[in-house]
Amino acid sequence: MSKSDLDNAFPNLALSNYEISSPKSRRYNCIAWACKDTTRKWDCFAFPVPPGYHWPKGASLGDDIVALISVFAAQGYAPCAESSLEDGYEKVALYVDDAGEWTHAARQLPNGKWTSKMGDAEDITHSAPEDLTNSIYGEAHCYMKRPSMKRQNEEEERDKL
């Protein structure tokens, strides 16, 4: 798929300033990428015979957004109100389609832009979660944040004093 294919599938992207930031890969998917794992696919859909793909132990299963929220909660994220850049925190945006099923996750970069793995296609860097609103991904339904590594280290240092 080319940039024009992406533009056609995601009309808001075509109007924004985005960049393709990786080659295509089937090795990982959007949930894995949002969790900074490029070694495997994350999905809870049951196989007729297990095992299926990776899904954190203890996380909820299913298509409801609650399942996806539980995955990021297990990574130390907590719900937050909006997508703006907050010093000392990293954020994710979780998407839900018209059927109410989770579809996608995007991760905020330290510069305030967002990064998304586009299915089996490339990773992209985009300006805002809304850039990916369409009939495939639906829209960003909620946001979650956790302290950045830098902030965690600072807090640990402070606790030692």
Point out which residues bind another protein (CB under 8 A).
1, 5-6, 9, 26-27, 29-32, 39-43, 45, 47-54, 63, 101-104, 117-121, 136-137
Contact assessment for residue 92 and residue 107, using Cβ atoms and an 8 Å cutoff:
yes
* Nearer of residues 37 and 86 to another protein, judged by Cβ: 37
- Of the candidates 88, 87, 105, the residue with the CA atom closest to the CA atom of residue 96: 105
* Nearer of residues 12 and 29 to another protein, judged by Cβ: 29
Torsion of CA 53, 128, 94, 71, to 10 degrees: 60
Contact assessment for residue 90 and residue 108, using Cβ atoms and an 8 Å cutoff:
yes
CB of 157 to another protein, least distance (A): 35
CB of 51 to another protein, least distance (A): 4
* Nearer of residues 48 and 87 to another protein, judged by Cβ: 48
* Nearer of residues 47 and 157 to another protein, judged by Cβ: 47
* Nearer of residues 86 and 97 to another protein, judged by Cβ: 97
CB of 17 to another protein, least distance (A): 20
CB of 69 to another protein, least distance (A): 15
CB of 78 to another protein, least distance (A): 23
Query: Which residue carries 């979780």 as its tokens?
Result: 94
Helix or strand run (H / E) with residue 143? strand 139-147
- Of the candidates 50, 62, 94, the residue with the CA atom closest to the CA atom of residue 75: 94
Alpha-carbon span 22 to 30, nearest angstrom:
13
